[in-house]
Structure 1
Amino acid sequence: MDNATGERAGYRRSAGSPRGEARRRELLEQVTDDVAENGLVDFSLRRAARAAGTTHKVLLYHFDGPEDLLRQAVVTLRARRIGNALAAGTAEAATLTARVRVAWHSLRDEESQLRRVLDQAMGLAMYDPGRYAALGRGASQQYLPTLVSFCPPHWPDQRKHEVAEMILAALRGFLVDLLTSEDGSGAEAGFAALLRAVEREEAAG
């Protein structure tokens, strides 16, 4: 606590300094790599410090405690996933249906550990919202802009968002099915149905 203001200190102490911000980003990338490899279970500042080759006091200088650091690591992991899906979807496909298909293949074929870690984050947010709500809060806001960008540009904004919400909800369910089923056949069948629905939306003009 900052005794003068009653506010937690955290990474605001390094805000505004290009060197401090660069160091914060470097630490975050290193901690994110550890979270991607080892998951969220038993995450702590000391574990994060070992992964970043520093001390927990240094992390507390740049981040607002372990929950803030973990939240930012999860956000960074989602951004990596979104970047991969966006790059694949826009480079190889021209229609919404084709982009969704390519994005799904990117998500389906990504490392199962990454899917597991991001699902762990959502699970923790639901299981203990008092402590981990931030891990789930804003997830849709990260994913939706990419899906909206896949939609035909002439569509009204409301329609883009409605279709993007439908696609996001379905893909989330399919990713969970991939992690919990033996062969993923349910996810593939569901995805085929989703593509038919998206094709109908495109055909409607």
Structure 2
Amino acid sequence: MEGERVPDERERLLELSARFLLEHGVLDLSLRTLADAIGSSHRVLLYYFDSRETLITDALDEAARLSSVRDASLLGPNGTDADVEQELVRVWRLVSADDQLPLIRLFVQVVALALHNPGPYKNFVDGLQTEWVSAYAAYLRQHGVRPSEADDLAAEIVGLQRGLQLERAIGGSSDMLDRAFAAAAGRWAERVASFA
């Protein structure tokens, strides 16, 4: 069709890889196994991605995009009329929903790889430390929280979110985890309101 974007080969391989990793994970994954599964060769994957680690981190990002939870751009609306508590809970429910479990498990596996061998995963780790915290901090500043307090509170929110996601990945009760996050969101909303 006219105007329809045709993905290039790298994008096609990336999407196929992301879908495979969501289903099978990354632990003990070889490029040959992945290449066979997606109808390619390990040399082609190396040509497009340079290394197994680059492919894994790019595929994790693609998997998050496919799951519609790529980053904290889920946060909104950004005006001061929005209910902070409800917004935090809404985002939590999106990133911890049953359909996100394959992505959460994949994320945990890549974190484990990065902890074991940080060098090849430097870009992943750098993004891990800044992307969500920066987005939450910007959201909080738009609600009147001073910059230094916004950064600290954002780190607290992301820390709890990730901890509860890990608990979710290993079989924690979604109802219990939802209640825990909602209780914290209520306290955070009170702190945000104190800046108004």
The normalised TM-score by structure 2 is 0.77
The answer as to 2:124 corresponding to 1:138 is no
Residue 138 of structure 1 aligns to a residue in which SS?
helix
Unaligned runs of 5+ in 1: 1-20
| 1:73-115 Cα deviation digits (max 9, x unpaired) | 123334555348644x426x92322221101111221332221
Residue 184 of structure 2 aligns to a residue in which SS?
helix
The answer as to 2:72 corresponding to 1:82 is no
Instruction: Give the Cα–Cα distance (whole angstroms) in 1 for the partners of residues 44 and 117 of structure 2.
Output: 27
Q: Partner of 1:23 in structure 2?
A: 9
Residue of 162, 175, 178 corresponding to 1:188: 178
Instruction: Give the Cα–Cα distance (whole angstroms) in 2 for the partners of residues 90 and 130 of structure 1.
Output: 34
| 1:33-65 Cα deviation digits (max 9, x unpaired) | 111111112212112223432222111211112
* RMSD of aligned alpha carbons: 2.9
Larger deviation: 25-34 or 121-130?
121-130
What code does the residue aligned with 1:47 have? Answer: T
Unaligned runs of 5+ in 2: 1-6
What code does the residue aligned with 1:82 have? Answer: V
What code does the residue aligned with 1:74 have? Answer: L
Deviation at 1:157, TM superposition (A): 2.8
User: Per the alignment, do residues 34 and 152 of structure 1 end up closer, same or farther by CA in structure 2, a change over 3 Å counting?
Assistant: same
Any residues of structure 2 matched to 1:26-41 within 5 Å, and which?
26-41=12-27
Q: Partner of 1:112 in structure 2?
A: 101
Q: Partner of 2:59 in structure 1?
A: 73
Larger deviation: 187-196 or 65-74?
187-196
Q: Partner of 2:88 in structure 1?
A: 100
User: Per the alignment, do residues 128 and 113 of structure 1 end up closer, same or farther by CA in structure 2, a change over 3 Å counting?
Assistant: same
What code does the residue aligned with 2:151 have? Answer: H
Instruction: Give the Cα–Cα distance (whole angstroms) in 1 for the partners of residues 24 and 13 of structure 2.
Output: 16
Identity among equivalent pairs (%): 23
Q: Report if aligned partners of 1:177, 1:184 keep a CA contact under 8 Å in 2.
A: no
Instruction: Give the Cα–Cα distance (whole angstroms) in 2 for the partners of residues 44 and 123 of structure 1.
Output: 16
Larger deviation: 61-70 or 44-53?
44-53
Q: Partner of 1:173 in structure 2?
A: 163
Q: Report if aligned partners of 1:63, 1:69 keep a CA contact under 8 Å in 2.
A: yes
Tell me which of the two structures has the higher relative contact order, counting C-alpha pairs closer than 8 angstroms and 6 or more residues apart: 2
Residue of 114, 129, 133 corresponding to 1:125: 114
Residue of 14, 28, 45 corresponding to 1:59: 45
User: Per the alignment, do residues 164 and 82 of structure 1 end up closer, same or farther by CA in structure 2, a change over 3 Å counting?
Assistant: farther
Instruction: Give the Cα–Cα distance (whole angstroms) in 1 for the partners of residues 71 and 92 of structure 2.
Output: 11
Q: Partner of 2:4 in structure 1?
A: none
